[in-house]
A and B are shown apart, each in its own frame.
Chain A
């Protein structure tokens, strides 16, 4: 069994309904991740994704259950768990450097100004904002603001990085570059990351594990999809990988139809033992996967078809 660096154990979140009864956003949710893994949660709005992330961050408390990180039950927020907010949440009266330095000086309170500044500068350079240190957030583009948010989260060298749809407010081009940056940084530093997204391609590009949640209220973690794509995948040839469409179709199918009917279809679903989907492995058979497994012969036969015209 792999080690459970993050372990969410039977958490529930309930709100008081208008009629006086309690409405459960989700109940009895179990989820675990290993150190250095990148996890993505996908689900429709209202399934409680953000609530899960906020509980993990310590900004919200579960109505029931515990979250264990690195062998310890979490209690409130912590500098070990950095959050990248959807709306970047920069302090507008501080400069880029000031925003990052605020986080640095919060973690290392006895550091002097020069040391804080030098440390903050490393992370500003890392996200490619060298030269913009003394700009205020209002002078930055949306993508640059989110880079500052990433630099701020990384600067406190957290054990986990939590991201709540960090790129959803950005245009497609900026989103792409920032995804590349985040992936590069996470791979280089072995950062454990947990991200919420609506974007299936983003999840396939970034995540090692994709957590699929059904619709709320009463949402459950339906499946864990293991990303079949190689660790060294690149953005440019992502869609050429033989498993790419298999995994993408599986997730899209889930979001389009199965997320609504999952509870009715799977009455025996055990939230403590969520099925793990391994695309291309024997336990799950999808039409395109069986083709994909014979990758090399297929490629040759395809080349063979085109060959006659030249060889004859």
Chain B
């Protein structure tokens, strides 16, 4: 029954994909209406006006270009012409670093907030105000104080991924069942051992859920941050190709951003499943 459902769903997915490609292909086939113009004037005009081609690349253009990129993902022809693999690598490295720093801060601090009602109440107003600030709003301040655009981007990733992790960790730790804590108490388990043997495993699914939300947000934000910061990264690539008016490359970049985001989410989802316990 399940396999049959999966099979049928796959057929529908493929049909939808093919339908989308077909509509895309037909829509970008070109108007066919070509105005008569002198060859000098035609040189100034784009292919839309002279050959009746669509301004939007079709699926075949994108596919061909994508194949070119996939054949040479890591070439480096100077600052404005790097392979997509290199650009994505920069973005992933920035996200990884900012995210890792956020984990280092958010999880211990979340534990503290979850275990201590005093700290929780004391920090609450700060968290409530800082949490809704758009991470990009920090960018000028980061550029001004850090004086390095790459580090500023990492800082922005840090600041946007810290909140979901912090709040989920605090919630997970505070919501550990009283009876499990009581078991540890009756066994005279010390605070540190209790934190690692009872609270951490009990709160792990909630913490991992927070981490999964964070990686999603971090990947959303890195594209915007790199558009501002420039230099390297997939966000910069998108903006650079927009300036080149290479819509084909923009579409390819959008596709790859989606793919990498999905992979990052899947990795965290797998970790979440590993620490989830049935009750």
Q: Mark A residues whose CB is within 8 Å of B.
A: 57-59, 76-79, 81-83, 85, 87, 89, 91-93, 102-103, 106-107, 136-138, 156
Q: Are A93 and B186 in contact (CB under 8 A)?
A: no
Q: List, in ascending order, chain A residues with CB within 8 A of B182's CB.
A: 59, 83, 85, 89
Within 8 A of A (CB), among B222-251: none
Q: List, in ascending order, chain B residues with CB within 8 A of A85's CB.
A: 179, 182-183
Q: How far is the CA of A58 from the CA of B186 in the complex (A)?
A: 8
Q: Are A136 and B188 in contact (CB under 8 A)?
A: no
The listed residue (A77, A87, A91, A138) touching B185 by CB distance below 8 A is A77
Q: List, in ascending order, chain A residues with CB within 8 A of B279's CB.
A: 92, 137-138
**Is B201 among interface residues, defined by CB-CB distance under 8 A?**
yes
Q: Mark B residues whose CB is within 8 Å of A.
A: 177, 179-180, 182-183, 185-189, 197-198, 201-202, 275, 277-279
Q: How far is the CA of A246 from the CA of B188 in the complex (A)?
A: 43
Q: Given contacts A87-B179, A91-B201, are A138 and B278 in contact (CB under 8 A)?
A: yes
The listed residue (B180, B189, B201) touching A106 by CB distance below 8 A is B189
Q: How far is the CA of A83 from the CA of B183 in the complex (A)?
A: 8
Number of A-B contacts (CB under 8 A): 56
**Additional A-B contacts beyond A77-B187, A137-B279, A138-B279 (13; CB < 8 A):** A77-B185, A77-B188, A78-B188, A79-B187, A83-B182, A83-B186, A91-B201, A91-B202, A92-B278, A93-B202, A103-B187, A138-B277, A138-B278
- In the assembled complex, 16 residue pairs joining A and B whose CB atoms fall closer than 8 Å, in A order, are A57-B186, A58-B185, A59-B185, A59-B186, A77-B185, A83-B183, A83-B186, A85-B179, A89-B179, A89-B182, A91-B201, A102-B187, A106-B187, A106-B188, A106-B189, A136-B278
Q: List, in ascending order, chain A residues with CB within 8 A of B189's CB.
A: 106
Q: List, in ascending order, chain B residues with CB within 8 A of A136's CB.
A: 277-278
Q: How far is the CA of A83 from the CA of B198 in the complex (A)?
A: 17
Q: Are A92 and B277 in contact (CB under 8 A)?
A: yes
Name the residue on A nearest B198 (C-beta). Answer: A91
Least CB distance from A167 to B in Å reads 17
- Interface residues of B: mostly helix, strand, loop or mixed? helix
Q: How far is the CA of A76 from the CA of B191 in the complex (A)?
A: 14
Q: Are B183 and A89 in contact (CB under 8 A)?
A: yes
Q: How far is the CA of A107 from the CA of B184 in the complex (A)?
A: 11
Least CB distance from A89 to B in Å reads 4
Q: Are A82 and B186 in contact (CB under 8 A)?
A: yes
Q: List, in ascending order, chain B residues with CB within 8 A of A79's CB.
A: 186-188
Q: Are A81 and B186 in contact (CB under 8 A)?
A: yes
Name the residue on A nearest B183 (C-beta). Answer: A89
Q: List, in ascending order, chain A residues with CB within 8 A of B188's CB.
A: 77-79, 106
Q: List, in ascending order, chain B residues with CB within 8 A of A156's CB.
A: 187
B179, B186, B187, B279: which has the most chain A beta carbons within 10 Å?
Answer: B186
Least CB distance from A64 to B in Å reads 22
Q: Are A93 and B187 in contact (CB under 8 A)?
A: no
Q: How far is the CA of A66 from the CA of B201 in the complex (A)?
A: 36
B188, B189, B198, B275: which has the most chain A beta carbons within 10 Å?
Answer: B188
Q: How far is the CA of A106 from the CA of B190 in the complex (A)?
A: 9
Q: List, in ascending order, chain B residues with CB within 8 A of A76's CB.
A: 185
The listed residue (B185, B197, B202) touching A102 by CB distance below 8 A is B197
Q: How far is the CA of A58 from the CA of B188 in the complex (A)?
A: 11
Least CB distance from B242 to A in Å reads 49
Q: How far is the CA of A106 from the CA of B193 in the complex (A)?
A: 10
Q: How far is the CA of A59 from the CA of B188 in the complex (A)?
A: 11
